[in-house]
C-alpha cells in the first residue's frame, strides 16, 4: 500500500502540473496586450466562478449535509460583511465558519 500511495501522489501531481506547464508553454507566445490574452483572462475568471458556485450549490463533501437555504443565507450574509468591512476578507470567512458550525450542531 505504501508504494501505491506514493505512485498515486506522483500520478496526481503529474496530472496537475501538466495544465500549469502547458499554460506556460502557451503563454510564451501570447502578449499581455493581445485579444488572445483577454480571452484567456475571461476564461480563467469564468471557470473559477463556475467552480466556486458549484462548490456552494452542489457540494461534494461535508457541506452537503447543510440545507441549501442555510448555505445560501450564509453566503449572502458573508458577502454583506465583506462589503460592510471595506473588503476585509478575514471577517466574512471567520463569520461563515462559525455560523455554519453553529447551525450544523443545533439544527
Q: CB of residue 69 vs other proteins: minimum separation in angstroms?
A: 14
Residues 4-63 that bind other proteins (CB under 8 A): 5-24, 26-28, 30-32, 35, 37-63
SS (H, E, C) the chain: CHHHHHHHHHHHHHHHHHHHHHHHHHHCCCCCCCHHHHHHHHHHHHHHHHHHHHHHHCCCCHHHHCCHHHHHHHHHHHHHHHHHCCCCCHHHHHHHHHHHHHHHHHC
Question: Binding to other proteins by residue 93, rule CB under 8 A?
Answer: yes
Question: Binding to other proteins by residue 107, rule CB under 8 A?
Answer: no
Q: CB of residue 37 vs other proteins: minimum separation in angstroms?
A: 6
Amino acid at each position: 500500500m505504501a508504494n501505491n500511495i506514493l505512485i498515486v501522489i506522483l500520478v496526481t501531481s503529474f496530472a496537475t502540473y501538466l495544465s500549469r506547464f502547458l499554460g506556460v508553454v502557451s503563454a510564451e507566445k501570447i502578449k499581455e496586450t493581445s485579444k488572445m490574452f483577454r480571452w484567456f483572462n475571461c476564461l480563467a475568471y469564468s471557470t473559477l466562478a463556475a467552480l466556486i458556485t458549484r462548490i456552494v450549490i452542489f457540494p461534494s463533501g461535508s457541506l452537503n449535509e447543510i440545507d441549501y437555504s442555510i448555505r445560501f443565507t450564509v453566503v449572502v450574509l458573508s458577502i454583506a460583511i465583506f462589503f460592510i468591512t471595506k473588503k476585509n476578507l478575514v471577517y466574512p470567512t471567520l463569520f461563515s465558519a462559525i455560523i455554519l458550525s453553529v447551525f450544523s450542531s443545533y439544527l
